A and B are shown apart, each in its own frame.
Chain A
Amino acid sequence: MTLLALLLTLFLSGFLAVFWPQGAMAPDLFLVLALWYARQRPYYLGLPGAFLLGLCQDLVGYGLLGLHAVGLLAAAYALYAAGRRLALEESLTAPAAFFWAFSAKWLGYFLVAYWLRLAIPPLAPLDLLLEGLFTLPLFLLALRLRAKAP
């Protein structure tokens, strides 16, 4: 199931690149997959899983190895932290947990950028917010799929 989800994510990431409007932040499918995986696995599988998924995302994006890995690792860790305090299956707490993890992902990115003294691209807060808003429905859908799975 996890492998199938990974293959689907890889496929959809290529598919979405064509249909998503140019210049707009696309939903982060890898984040959805990492959180979905972390939600159904214990931390000792979920954290390395998110890390490996981030590496995979780095490879797909032909970018710096470790950037997305750290971002998704931070997001998964934040989700575990949120999961200890919130019931993620509820309609109000799930978005809050998602935005917590989403913020952690970007914090991870900024950490790597700071670590390597990279020039941070000029990102508008609205772009980040839109990416989160586009990704949220997919995250909620993934949670529902998990809830329905036997």
Chain B
Amino acid sequence: MRETALRRGLFLALLLLGLGLSALTRPMAPRLALALSPLTAPLPALGYRLAQNAKAAWSALRNRQDLYAENRALRARVALLESENRRLALEVARLERALAVRQTQAPGLLAVAPVIGEDLSGLYRRLLLGMGEREGLRAGMPVIAPEGLVGLIVEVGERQALVRTLLDPESQVGVRPEKSPGRGVARGAPPDHLVAEFPPTVKVAPGDLLLTGAPLGLFPDGIPVGRVERVERVQGGLKQRAWVRPAVDLSLLEEVLVLRPL
């Protein structure tokens, strides 16, 4: 009982002290607290600073993880865009080639066809195109590349077409020298040459460019066929034979241009 009374008494005394203290120091707050803060402030300030540093470190770590993820995403996006850019560059180059041909051969251009294969026998030089009847290709259509003549379509399937190139031994192309009159016929001489025969009166010399002529009626006039490498007289001087390197490197062809037949 006595202890309870003492506890109550102590509580009341401290309560009054607290109330009195608060009333007395009220005009001085928070100046007084600020003046006395050196007694209490260092430890909370230490805790505060440590927590701030820890939070900053955590934030930096998290940001770094974010940056890593963002970097990976950006790398993937750059790779995608580079791939797209390459595809578009190829598309632009293809269209430029088609445009160049259209400007020179228009309105003869029918299609730009991919080369999907070639004859591997070594006996013939033929190309397989990835387009066929469905795309409007027909036998007898000339096939060219921006650099010059490629050959002639000889067989057409629904989705494929076979091109007999000017290097094929069965190929015959009417040709003429670029800078002098006269006509001749060029036949394929595998693996990588043509042999053109001219009358002895035609002026042909090594280095001359041969173009298609129209006597056989298969190709438009003026398409580059190849460049003369050497000239020799045959049949006792009744003919001259020119060895010609084709203007188009067939092994590098990825796509060709198909023209409407004459």
Binding site for B on A (CB under 8 A): 7, 10-19, 43-44, 47-48, 51, 54-56, 58-67, 69-70, 73-74, 77, 80, 111-112, 115-116
Cβ contacts under 8 Å, B54 to chain A: 18-19
In the assembled complex, the Cα of A15 lies from the Cα of B40 at a distance in Å of 14
**A69 contacts B18, C-beta separation under 8 Å:** yes
Chain B residues, Cβ within 8 Å of A66 = 18-23, 25
Query: Within the complex, which residue of A44, A74, A115 is in contact with B22, where a contact is CB–CB below 8 Å?
Result: A115
B39 at the interface (CB under 8 A from A): yes
Mask of B171-186 contacts with A, CB within 8 angstroms, 1/0: 0000000000000000
CB neighbours of A73 from chain B (8 A):
11, 14-15, 18
Instruction: Say whether B51 contacts A15, CB under 8 Å.
Output: yes
Q: For B34, B46, B51, which residue has the most chain A Cβ atoms within 10 angstroms? A: B51
B47 touches A13 (CB 8 A): yes
Q: Is B37 an interface residue (CB 8 A)?
A: yes
In whole angstroms, how far apart are the Cα atoms of A74 and B32 in the complex?
Answer: 24
Chain B contact residues (Cβ within 8 angstroms of A): what range? 35 or more
Are the C-beta atoms of B44 and A11 separated by less than 8 Å? yes
Ranked nearest first, the 4 interchain pairs of A and B with the lowest CB-CB distance are: A14-B47, A66-B22, A14-B44, A18-B51
* Complex contact B14–A51 (CB within 8 A): yes
Given contacts A10-B43, A11-B43, A59-B33, are A64 and B26 in contact (CB under 8 A)?
yes
* With A13-B47, A16-B51, A64-B25 already in contact, 19 other A-B pairs whose C-beta atoms are closer than 8 Å: A7-B43, A10-B43, A12-B47, A18-B48, A19-B54, A43-B6, A44-B6, A44-B10, A59-B41, A60-B41, A62-B33, A63-B33, A64-B22, A64-B30, A65-B25, A65-B32, A66-B19, A77-B11, A116-B22
Q: Which residues of A contact B39 (CB under 8 A)?
A: 59
A80 to B7, CA, bound (A): 9
Chain A neighbourhood of B20, CB < 8 A: 66
In the bound complex, residues from chain A placing their C-beta under 8 Å from that of B21 are 55, 65-66, 69
